[in-house]
């Protein structure tokens, strides 16, 4: 299995508080992604990274920021969490741009009250 | 906007039957196509990829691609209760773009 871990796995927070989710990989893959999954919406891309300090927005990036200071870590930050950001967040990695063969982390379930 | 469409299901098939899962996409320029399986409460896992028109077989799974019709399907032969899951279709429009996922089809195989 690909070495990819997410933390925390579960978090409950209150509206307006900042939240950071961490994705850590041991595969030295260049590409990392953050998706959210909601009933009726499927998997939607939030942000992705194609290298250290190189990131780009996805379909649902509003309210989220990311950082990648090391190859192995990709952080997703909610500066001021809202109830609409209650979701399951998945991190994924891939070896390169020409492959859709993603390996997913186990997911982080976030509840914003 | 690039879209990937799937019937949400549930699709119920008896054990041993062929399950047929379908996916359509909005852009003829699409390059690569993938099927992921997701068990309830788990993360998606890749089961098939297909890049050119025709069929691709891997064990009990067959992926079929028809670019002219903008249609990709997944057939599961001899369906087993362990195949019960949500199947996600994903499309890559070019080598530099991330995958776009459909909403998934929930499959239930009845013993």
Please give the structure tokens belonging to residue A28: 């030295």
Is the separation of the CB atoms in B5 and B23 below 8 Å? Answer: yes
Structure-token match 């390059």, residue found: B31
Q: Is the pLDDT score of B24 beyond 80?
A: yes
With cut-offs at 50, 70 and 90, classify the pLDDT of residue B29: confident
Q: Can you tell me the distance from the alpha carbon of B34 to that of A98, in angstroms, rounded to the nearest whole number?
A: 13
Sign of the four-CA dihedral B101, A48, A63, A76? positive
Reduced 3-state DSSP string for A35-88 = EEEECCCEEEEEEEEEECCEEEECCCCCCEEEEEEECCEEEEEECCCCHHHCEE
Q: Are the Cβ atoms of B46 and A101 closer than 8 angstroms?
A: yes
Q: Can you tell me the distance from the alpha carbon of A26 to that of A1, in angstroms, rounded to the nearest whole number?
A: 11
Distance from CA of A97 to the nearest CA of B (A): 5
Q: Report which of B91, B90, B88, B92 is spatially closest to residue B104, judged by C-alpha positions.
A: B88
Local structure of residue B18 (DSSP, 8 states) = P
- Which of A20-24, A26-30, A59-63 is predicted with the least confidence, judged by mean pLDDT? A26-30
pLDDT at residue A97, as a whole number: 61
Task: Give the chain A residue whose CA is nearest to the CA of B87.
Answer: A42
Q: Is the pLDDT score of B10 beyond 60?
A: yes
Please write the tens of the pLDDT for every residue from A31-78. Answer: 999 999 999 888 999 999 999 999 999 999 999 999 999 999 999 999
Please give the structure tokens belonging to residue B67: 């670019």
Please write the tens of the pLDDT for every residue from A80-107. Answer: 999 999 999 999 999 766 678 999 999 9
With cut-offs at 50, 70 and 90, classify the pLDDT of residue B30: confident
Enumerate residues 48 to 67 of chain B having a beta carbon within 8 A of any beta carbon in chain A.
Answer: 49
pLDDT at residue B27, as a whole number: 81
Q: How many CA atoms lie within 13 A of A66 on its CB side?
A: 29
Q: Count of CB contacts below 8 A, A vs B? A: 48
Q: Is the pLDDT score of A2 beyond 70?
A: no
Please write the tens of the pLDDT for every residue from B54-110. Answer: 999 999 999 999 999 999 999 999 999 999 999 999 999 876 788 999 999 999 999
Please give the structure tokens belonging to residue B8: 């949400």
Distances (CA, A) of A84 to A14, A81, A106, A110: 12, 8, 21, 11
Q: Is the pLDDT score of A1 beyond 70?
A: no
Distances (CA, A) of A92 to A72, B23, B48, B61, B70: 12, 22, 17, 24, 26
pLDDT at residue B1, as a whole number: 73
Mean pLDDT across the stretch A4-19? 98
């Amino acid at each position: 299995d690909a070495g990819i871990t997410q933390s925390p796995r579960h978090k409950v927070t209150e509206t307006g508080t900042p939240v950071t989710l961490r994705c850590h990989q041991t595969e030295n893959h260049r590409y990392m992604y953050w998706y959210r999954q909601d009933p009726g919406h499927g998997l939607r891309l939030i942000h992705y990274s194609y290298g250290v300090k190189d990131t780009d927005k996805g379909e649902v990036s509003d309210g989220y920021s990311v950082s990648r200071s090391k190859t192995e870590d990709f952080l997703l930050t909610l500066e001021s969490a809202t109830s609409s950001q209650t979701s399951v967040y998945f991190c994924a990695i891939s070896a390169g741009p020409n492959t859709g063969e993603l390996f997913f982390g186990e997911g982080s379930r976030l509840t914003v009250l | 906007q690039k879209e990937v469409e799937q019937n949400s299901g549930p699709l119920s098939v008896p054990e041993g039957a062929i399950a047929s899962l379908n996916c359509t996409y909005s852009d003829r320029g699409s390059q690569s196509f993938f099927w992921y399986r997701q068990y309830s409460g788990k993360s998606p896992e890749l089961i098939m990829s297909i890049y050119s028109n025709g069929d691709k077989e891997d064990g009990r799974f067959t992926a079929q691609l028809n670019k002219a019709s903008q249609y990709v399907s997944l057939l599961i032969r001899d369906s087993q209760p362990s195949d019960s899951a949500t199947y996600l279709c994903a499309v890559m429009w070019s080598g530099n773009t991330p995958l776009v996922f459909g909403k998934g089809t929930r499959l239930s195989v009845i013993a």
